[in-house]
């Protein structure tokens, strides 16, 4: 197994947090592709 450390900082500032959200969205899309998303979960609870 490999722990790959990206040497680039992911900046998060109070004024412009969106680069972090863009990275998180990209990771989410890789980890949980939309075609596997059970949209029936919406609206529960």
Partner 1 sequence: MPYDKFKITDIQSKLNIEVRKEAWLKDTFAPFGEDAMLLRLLEEAGSVFLGSEKARSEFIITPVLQALRRKNEGRFAIFSGYEFTIDKKAALNGYCDFILSAKADSLTLEAPAFFVVETKKADVDDDAIAQCGAELYAAQLFNERKGKPQEAVYGCVTSGLRGHSYACKQ
Which residues of this chain interact with partner 1, rule CB under 8 A? 1-14, 17-28, 30-32, 37, 39, 41-45
Closest CA to 27 of 16, 38, 19: 19
Q: Sign of dihedral through CA atoms 17, 19, 23, 25?
A: positive
Smallest gap, in angstroms, from Cβ of residue 10 to partner 1?
A: 5
Smallest gap, in angstroms, from Cβ of residue 35 to partner 1?
A: 12
Smallest gap, in angstroms, from Cβ of residue 42 to partner 1?
A: 4
- Residue 4 and residue 13 in contact, taking contact as beta carbons nearer than 8 Å: no
């Amino acid at each position: 197994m490999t722990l790959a450390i990206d040497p680039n900082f992911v900046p998060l500032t109070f004024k412009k947090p969106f680069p972090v959200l863009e990275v998180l969205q990209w990771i989410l899309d890789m980890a949980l592709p939309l075609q596997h998303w059970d949209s029936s979960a919406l609206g529960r609870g």
